[in-house]
Amino acid sequence: MNNPPALDTPLKFLPGVGPARAELLAKELELLTFNDLLHFFPFRYVDRSRFYKVRDLMMASAEVQLKGQIHGFEEKGTGNKKRLTALFEDETGILELVWFKNYKWVKSQIKENEEYVIYGKINWFGDRISMPHPEIEKAEVFKKRGHLGLMPIYPSTEKLTKKGITQKVMQKLVYELFKQVGRNFPETLPEDFKNQNKLIDRSQALYAIHFPKDLNQLAQAQYRLKFEELFYLQLQYVYKNRLRKKKIKGHIFENIGPYFNTFYHEVLDFELTGAQKRVIKEIRKDVKSGAQMNRLLQGDVGSGKTVVAMMSMLMAIDNGFQTALLAPTEILATQHYKTISRWAEKLGLNVSLLTGSTKQKERKIIHQALEDGSLDILIGTHAILEDKVKFKNLGLAVIDEQHRFGVAQRAKMWKKNDIPPHILIMTATPIPRTLSLTHYGDLDVSIIDELPPGRKPVKTMHVYEKEKNKVYHFIRNQINKGRQAYIVYPLIEESEALDYRNLTDGYEEIKEEFLHDGYKIGIVYGKMPAEDKNRVMKKFKDGELDILVSTTVIEVGVDVPNATVMVIESAHRFGLSQLHQLRGRVGRGAEESYCILITDYKLTDDAKTRIQTMVSTQDGFKIAEVDLKLRGPGDILGTQQSGLIKFKIADLLKDRHILLRARLAAERLLESDPSLSAPENRTVALVLADLFKKKGFWNYIG
Ligand code: ADP
Ligand code: MG
């Protein structure tokens, strides 16, 4: 016998394909080679082992299979209503078959008194049932073919179906593929490993995923292939992380010195939570290890990340290094500056703020102080990343809200010195573990999963637009008690849709409602000059304003403990994570706080789910899980995250447990054989090397 064709053979050489179909398959499904087709997995399966009776069709779902006889052909209608009908009959009843084309051919194929298997979608017209364009096969042939227990259904496009590449054709092509290349494929996982993780052979799995004998076999095949896919992804991450720690030297912060200790014992006026202490220890371990730290710090709004950042910076300063803190907006940078300079002052440390609106003269002074080493802490926005900004010895960079900084920007921070600074990335957007493992799997993660004591949950209510007067009444009450309120709108300008509230309209309305009673109202929005924005924010923070009307610019980090009401207008227009962030602006002081979500009366299902989730929980991780289900990973990670991973078979929403096992397996394997040099791990080493080669391993480090 000849050798089977290689898997990289172009698809046009597969019998049944040819140049025209090959082009279509390439264009529509990105299938180029035999191997691509082998790995083109069905997305669902139809149970063809079950036969319905006509009598039972009432209970049937869309697609059914029946066995019986066909007779009584009739041509009906004229013009484009022309059609062919026939009656299908089993022992229990009759249904009508209908064809709108090809019917001469159909008629010539079917014989009376012969038994057929038909398969298709059923339609109801009153109590009459019909099935348009059924798949038909002689019962005898169907029986001989035998293997149709579960029939694979492949992803397809309209164009493919139109051009005759139907499901049946796809199935035939895959069938032909196996005929050509056989059913033995190289194994990619070691024997022992497979046994430990209860995985079937790759060859078995690849056949069964296309043509499963039964549900059990299908489940095993899916598990094996999903596990493999997730395992190799995790193996890359874990390997990379280990290698980075080995290869990339980091500054060593040997001593915990006077600054850190003085801060902890004398400046800090609250007790750290257990979670904060744990995280600080994790960071401490990293920065004295000799390897560069690249740590993601996740902690819900209000969990106290700033103090962790401060204490990490003090570790650097204690060892003679400079530090930087990057924030995504000027408001945030300014706020960090205030918090941190208040602390730093008591320690005798120098802090500066560098943003887009820093004056040239001031900039020069900062540049100078950075270069001569007299500046200990630089806080700022993207302006810090400019090439002109040079540090004498940057030891640690903290990045707040990494969502808004791309990988490339993070990398810029690296190049500021010969030995890269340690990097601590802080995010208040809890990322579900499935996502952080699949998309930041090479970063180390610390989680603050505990709020400072004494926080009261924010009472969250859903109110319809019509009942807004009640809301205004409520706001009045709170202000009269000395509190402050935020009112947030989704849009800055009336642009896309005229039907929903926009900020300026809202502002007018609020003024009309409150101004004549002597309440003080301010407004901030994104396009406002930074100076004005800061001035208004400061007024609000200092209690000179009762109500702050704004867009989502106040979303992250803004800290005004006396504000107890967060009203969100057109709340159905906001995403879950935004709503959660906004709610996090209140409940920061000792008083009971409230979040009021105002919506239209009619809501989409997704909007309902978002509002209900907000009302029912305040757990950021729970909210993130719901968000992931509603929006999918792409939207959650945002467009800045270029390399959104497309999985062949794994599904982040459904395969969480497989992912966690695969991660553990990857960690264990590298723990026992860090360089994958043991003979039994040779296959794994080769597959991994191949993956790195394809991806340009070093490009996306950091
Ligand atoms: P976030 O994680 O959202 O950045 P912050 O660092 O702004 O949270 O902290 C929110 C508030 O909680 C601040 O006013 C901060 O001083 C306070 N805080 C932080 N940690 C503690 C703690 N352990 N005990 C009491 N208050 C704390
Ligand atoms: Mg913060």
pLDDT single digits (tens) 660-692: 999 999 999 999 999 999 999 999 999 999 988
* Nearest CA-CA partner of 38 in 211, 228, 166: 211
Of the pLDDT bands very low, low, confident and very high (cuts 50, 70, 90), residue 413 is low
Q: For residue 419, what pLDDT is reported? A: 82
**How many Å lie between the centroid of ligand 2 and the Cα of residue 141?**
69
Judge if the beta carbon of residue 490 lies within 6 A of ligand 1.
no
DSSP-assigned beta bridge partners for residue 10: 33
DSSP 270-311: SPPPHHHHHHHHHHHHHHTSSBPPEEEEEE-TTS-HHHHHHH
Judge if the beta carbon of residue 441 lies within 6 A of ligand 1.
no
Judge if the beta carbon of residue 302 lies within 6 A of ligand 1.
yes
Judge if the beta carbon of residue 298 lies within 6 A of ligand 1.
no
Q: Which residue has the higher pLDDT, 23 or 414?
A: 23
Q: For residue 364, what pLDDT is reported? A: 95
Of the pLDDT bands very low, low, confident and very high (cuts 50, 70, 90), residue 636 is low
- Which strand ranges, in their side-by-side order, compose the sheet holding 351-354? 351-354, 377-380, 322-326, 394-400, 422-427, 294-299, 444-448
Task: Return the ligand 1 atom nearest residue 271 CA.
Answer: 23
Of 318-327, 359-368, 565-574, 646-655, minimum mean pLDDT range: 646-655
Q: Do 322 and 370 form a contact (C-beta atoms < 8 A)? A: yes
Average pLDDT over residues 388-411: 78
Q: Which residue has the higher pLDDT, 500 or 227?
A: 227
* Ligand 1: residue whose CA is nearest its atom 13: 304
- Considering 359-373, 399-413, 501-515, the range whose residues carry the highest mean pLDDT is 359-373
Q: For residue 82, what pLDDT is reported? A: 87
Judge if the beta carbon of residue 319 lies within 6 A of ligand 1.
no
Q: Do 184 and 203 form a contact (C-beta atoms < 8 A)? A: yes
Counts of helices then strands in the chain (DSSP H, E): 24, 22
pLDDT of residue 6 exceeding 60:
yes
Q: Do 154 and 210 form a contact (C-beta atoms < 8 A)? A: no
**How many Å lie between the centroid of ligand 1 and the Cα of residue 375?**
25
Q: For residue 407, what pLDDT is reported? A: 57
* Nearest CA-CA partner of 576 in 621, 532, 611, 544: 611
Q: For residue 500, what pLDDT is reported? A: 44
**How many Å lie between the centroid of ligand 2 and the Cα of residue 312?**
15
DSSP strand pairing (123-125 vs 128-132): antiparallel
**Residue 692, both tokens:** 């790195």
Judge if the beta carbon of residue 303 lies within 6 A of ligand 1.
yes
pLDDT of residue 425 exceeding 50:
yes
Judge if the beta carbon of residue 702 lies within 6 A of ligand 1.
no
* Ligand 1: residue whose CA is nearest its atom 19: 304
* Three-class secondary structure of residue 525 per DSSP: coil
Share of the chain above pLDDT 90, in %: 58
**How many Å lie between the centroid of ligand 1 and the Cα of residue 279?**
14
Q: For residue 697, what pLDDT is reported? A: 45
Total number of residues shown for the chain? 702
Task: Return the ligand 1 atom nearest residue 400 CA.
Answer: 4
Which one-letter amino acid corresponds to residue 121? K
* Ligand 1: residue whose CA is nearest its atom 23: 272
**How many Å lie between the centroid of ligand 1 and the Cα of residue 311?**
13
Q: For residue 192, what pLDDT is reported? A: 94
Q: For residue 20, what pLDDT is reported? A: 94
463 vs 27, 215, 599, 608, CA distance in Å? 49, 47, 7, 12
Of the pLDDT bands very low, low, confident and very high (cuts 50, 70, 90), residue 522 is very high
Q: Whole-number mean pLDDT of the chain?
A: 88
pLDDT of residue 379 exceeding 60:
yes
Of the pLDDT bands very low, low, confident and very high (cuts 50, 70, 90), residue 112 is confident
Of 270-274, 556-560, 666-670, minimum mean pLDDT range: 556-560
Average pLDDT over residues 437-465: 88
Judge if the beta carbon of residue 452 lies within 6 A of ligand 1.
yes
Classify residue 199 as left (phi > 0), alpha (psi -120 to 50) or beta: beta
pLDDT of residue 560 exceeding 80:
yes
Tens of pLDDT, residue by residue over 60-101, are 667 789 999 999 999 888 888 888 999 999 999 999 999 988
Q: Do 330 and 530 form a contact (C-beta atoms < 8 A)? A: yes
Of the pLDDT bands very low, low, confident and very high (cuts 50, 70, 90), residue 639 is very low
Enumerate the H helices of 481-559 as residue ranges.
503-514, 530-541
- State which of 273, 307, 312 you would mutate to test the pocket of ligand 1, scoring each by most atoms of that ligand within 8 A of its C-beta: 307
**How many Å lie between the centroid of ligand 1 and the Cα of residue 257?**
24
Of the pLDDT bands very low, low, confident and very high (cuts 50, 70, 90), residue 491 is low
* Nearest CA-CA partner of 131 in 116, 120, 143, 142: 120
pLDDT of residue 404 exceeding 80:
no
Q: For residue 420, what pLDDT is reported? A: 87
Judge if the beta carbon of residue 273 lies within 6 A of ligand 1.
yes
Q: Do 48 and 108 form a contact (C-beta atoms < 8 A)? A: no
Of 116-130, 170-184, 407-421, 551-565, minimum mean pLDDT range: 407-421
Q: Which CATH number is associated with domain 49-146?
A: 2.40.50.140
Class assignment of domain 459-617?
alpha beta
Average pLDDT over residues 615-624: 90
Judge if the beta carbon of residue 43 lies within 6 A of ligand 1.
no
Q: For residue 702, what pLDDT is reported? A: 35
**How many Å lie between the centroid of ligand 2 and the Cα of residue 559?**
8
**How many Å lie between the centroid of ligand 1 and the Cα of residue 304?**
3
Q: Would you say domain 258-448 falls under CATH 3.40.50.300?
A: yes
Distance from C-alpha of 110 to C-alpha of 118, rounded to nearest angstrom: 12
In the numeric block, the tokens 């993660």 are attached to 445
Average pLDDT over residues 635-653: 69
* Three-class secondary structure of residue 320 per DSSP: coil
Task: Return the ligand 1 atom nearest residue 308 CA.
Answer: 6
Structure letter (DSSP) for residue 66: E
pLDDT of residue 122 exceeding 70:
yes
Q: Which residue has the higher pLDDT, 623 or 504?
A: 623
Share of the chain above pLDDT 70, in %: 91
Enumerate the H helices of 59-196 as residue ranges.
103-109, 139-145, 158-162, 167-181, 191-196
**How many Å lie between the centroid of ligand 1 and the Cα of residue 267?**
14
**How many Å lie between the centroid of ligand 1 and the Cα of residue 308?**
9
Q: For residue 64, what pLDDT is reported? A: 87
Of the pLDDT bands very low, low, confident and very high (cuts 50, 70, 90), residue 538 is confident
* Ligand 1: residue whose CA is nearest its atom 15: 304
Nearest-10 Cα torsion for 585, 409, 333, 637: 0
Q: Give kind and range of the element (H or E) at residue 364.
A: helix 360-371
Question: Do the domains at 49-146 and 258-448 have one common CATH topology?
Answer: no
**Extents of the domains making up the chain:** 1-46+154-182, 49-146, 258-448, 459-617
**Global pTM exceeds 0.75:** no
**How many Å lie between the centroid of ligand 1 and the Cα of residue 268?**
11
- State which of 272, 277, 306, 399 you would mutate to test the pocket of ligand 1, scoring each by most atoms of that ligand within 8 A of its C-beta: 306
Q: For residue 634, what pLDDT is reported? A: 67
Average pLDDT over residues 215-225: 95
DSSP 667-678: HHHHHH-TT--S
44 vs 160, 211, 530, CA distance in Å? 18, 12, 53
**How many Å lie between the centroid of ligand 1 and the Cα of residue 314?**
17
Q: For residue 194, what pLDDT is reported? A: 96
* Ligand 1: residue whose CA is nearest its atom 24: 452
Judge if the beta carbon of residue 301 lies within 6 A of ligand 1.
yes
- Considering 132-136, 573-577, 650-654, 661-665, the range whose residues carry the highest mean pLDDT is 661-665
Q: For residue 556, what pLDDT is reported? A: 58
3-state per-residue secondary structure call for 229-279: HHHHHHHHHHHHHHHHHHHCECCCCCCCCHHHHHHHHHHCCCCCCHHHHHH
Of the pLDDT bands very low, low, confident and very high (cuts 50, 70, 90), residue 411 is low
Q: Give kind and range of the element (H or E) at residue 682.
A: helix 682-695
Judge if the beta carbon of residue 222 lies within 6 A of ligand 1.
no
Structure letter (DSSP) for residue 553: G
Distance from C-alpha of 509 to C-alpha of 121, rounded to nearest angstrom: 55
Q: For residue 58, what pLDDT is reported? A: 76
Judge if the beta carbon of residue 427 lies within 6 A of ligand 1.
no
* Three-class secondary structure of residue 19 per DSSP: helix
Crossing angle of helices 167-181 and 202-210, rounded to 10°: 150
Q: For residue 700, what pLDDT is reported? A: 37
Judge if the beta carbon of residue 428 lies within 6 A of ligand 1.
yes
* Ligand 1: residue whose CA is nearest its atom 16: 304
* Nearest CA-CA partner of 449 in 299, 281, 311: 299
**Residue 248, both tokens:** 């990339």
pLDDT of residue 429 exceeding 80:
no
Task: Return the ligand 1 atom nearest residue 303 CA.
Answer: 2
**How many Å lie between the centroid of ligand 2 and the Cα of residue 701?**
26
Kindly tell me the burial class for residue 256, based on how many C-beta atoms sit within 10 Å of its own C-beta (0-12, 13-18, 19 or more). Answer: middle
